[in-house]
A and B are shown apart, each in its own frame.
Chain A
Amino acid sequence: MARIDLNNIRHAYMPNPLSEDDFALKRVHHTFDDGGAYALLGPSGCGKTTLLNIISGLLPPTEGEILFDGRDVTDLSTEDRNIAQVFQFPVVYDTMTVYQNLAFPLRNRGVPAEEIERRVRETLVMIDLAGRAEQKARGLTADDKQKIALGRGLVRSDVSAILFDEPLTVIDPHMKWVLRSQLKELHRRFAFTMVYVTHDQTEALTFADQVVVMNEGEIVQIGTPEELFERPNHTFVGYFIGSPGMNVLPVQIDGGDIHIGSHAVRLAEPVATNSGALTELGVRPEYVRIGEKGMPAQIVRVEDTGRRKIVHATIDGHPVAAIVSEDCVIPSDPRISFDPAGTNIYADSWRVDPVRDARGGAI
């Protein structure tokens, strides 16, 4: 296992990139710690697979360098980097048995026979396929095939990191949960460095200690699932994570006061933005209160999801979603207020930190 440093990586698929827009991956500078579980989360085409292929060496980056445990591997091929990767579609060698599939990467590297035997038997137990070692791989179900693909990575004891490229896409929903739990369990026991690419927020948030959210070739936020939820750094993160996503409303900042149209909003801590920036307020539906106090609102519709209700309303024509408990009664003259703890201010889509005075507290 290894620490992975990405130093100013940029990548363009065209030969002579000129402007920033030509880059599919715009300046990534980040460290994946040894033994960490990371998720790269973002919509299709945001560059997450590109980044993964750069780490695995399938794609040489246009600029920047990659270090494994401080050793520069930028120019090394995939084989020499000692990486394992699990792909979206399960890759198994059809004509081989499960055992031979797992032995394949070791045989290619000239590992002695008894060592292969030992490692493969161990791995078969780890991926729960010990009973099917002699079965032909082609007859297995998609999730078993995906386990074999994972096993071919695990079997190499010295592997630097295991990379996953949307590995659960073709797996049945009920098996997804099982496989994900097994992955987490394997990570807990053996502390592999794992990087997991997905566009599914549930997968990312349940799998990873640290989630790297990407959009349009850029990393917009790196944080724990909790941080991404409480303090989205960018309106995209707020919108992409959570269901429904964060409400984003245009606001005017006038000195210390914040207004949505004619209504004043209270924050936990004041913020300062440079004038001229497009300022917006972000608040997750979980922090929107409906009751007798606050801004007058029109209810558009209410969705009942079972345990709770999602209320879609408008304030001065701006749509706002709120999540309220099942037994919440919506008054006839509904008013909406935002919980200051969950309200963030964004300038040009990036979150503005609260202003703190010299004593360290909020003004």
Chain B
Amino acid sequence: MTKTWNNRAWFLVLPVLLLVAFNAIIPLMTVVNYSVQETFGNNLFFFEGVKWYEDVLTSERFHDSLFRQFLFTGIILLIEVPLGVAIALTMPRSGPWVSVCLVLMALPLLIPWNVVGAMWNIMALPDIGLLGYGLNALGIPYNFTRQPISAWFTVVLMDVWHWTSLVVLLAYAGLRSIPEAYYQAAKIDGASRWSVFRYIQLPKMNRVLTIAVLLRFMDSFMIYTEPFVLTGGGPGNATTFLSIDLVKAALGEFNLGIAAAMSIIYFLMTLLVSWIFYTLMTRGDEQ
């Protein structure tokens, strides 16, 4: 077959282009616009070049929240991915319990973010919350509004509770797609439980796990609502992640230039990491 080029076909792309323009490109460009100008209201703008970017990139405050962001994302990935795989491995492969497990697993995913924050806030209250009161009763000093460690513990626990299910469901789907013959062949080859995991289950889950890590990375990197409701970024700045810091700068301090530059940097970082993941995934396919 020979390829024919028809440039009129580009017209068919126009509707999508318009849609993307309105919901992505135009808002993004507005932010770019703010990020290179100074404004004092009244629609008065002064061009500032890359000043805001320099300010953001050299500010200690940004470095701290960026560090907290990576620390948080790293911790929850290290917990949620292995935990999710472990739970998926213990789930039944067939029978009536499958649907029970799936519904139980899907439940946290259905709860709105702010409700999750509010739930854990109440749970963790040291005087009346089950978790807070329980820990203190056990002799562990716990107060998430005063101790950074407690605040971090609660935020991480909340995220693990909320999102491990996603990893479980993806890993479970990957496991279910492995034909029974693989397990039978492994038995015949005398493989140990560990070998079955290492050489059959893990390679077959490879794809879905990459997607799981990507999704969890992006989501946790942009986390806002739950810590905002739970700790409001405190105590002090202990749980002020990038997005919380961004909102503080934009709406709390009305530093539109700084906030816009921060948004762009934030966006580029997420984009970069997603691109790295995408390349890794597609390169895996080609092999």
Chain A interface residues (CB < 8 Å from chain B): 56, 58, 77-79, 83-85, 87-89, 91, 93-96, 104-105, 108-109, 136, 138-139, 149, 152-153
Contact = CB atoms under 8 A, between A and B. Distances in A.
Interface in B115-141: none
Contacts of B181: 87-89, 91
Interface string B175-198: 000010110110111111001000
A136 B286 CA distance: 13
A83 B184 CA distance: 11
Nearest to A88: B181
B49 interface: no
Given A91-B181, A95-B199, A95-B203, A105 B189 contact: yes
B190 A85 contact: no
Contacts of A87: 181, 184-185
A105 B1 CA distance: 47
Classify the secondary structure of A's interface with B: mixed
A109 B199 CA distance: 16
Name, among A83, A84, A95, the residue most crowded by chain B CB atoms within 10 Å (CB to CB).
A95
B287 interface: yes
Contacts of B182: 91
Given A95-B203, A138-B287, 9 more contacts: A56-B184, A58-B187, A83-B188, A85-B188, A91-B181, A95-B199, A104-B191, A105-B189, A139-B287
Contacts of B264: none
Classify the secondary structure of B's interface with A: helix
A96 B184 contact: no
A91 B187 contact: no
A249 B203 CA distance: 57
7 contacts: A56-B188, A85-B184, A91-B182, A95-B203, A108-B191, A108-B192, A153-B188
Contacts of A88: 181
Nearest to B179: A89
What band does the interface of chain B fall in when counting residues whose beta carbon is under 8 Å from A? 10 to 19
Contacts of B189: 104-105, 108, 152
Contacts of A95: 199, 203
B149 interface: no
A149 B179 CA distance: 15
Given A95-B203, A108-B192, A152-B189, A58 B184 contact: yes
Nearest to B199: A93
A84 B287 contact: no
B220 to A, nearest CB: 28
A85 B185 contact: yes
B287 A78 contact: no
B89 interface: no
A89 to B, nearest CB: 6
Nearest to A155: B189
Nearest to B198: A95
Interface in B122-167: none
Nearest to A149: B185
B190 A105 contact: yes
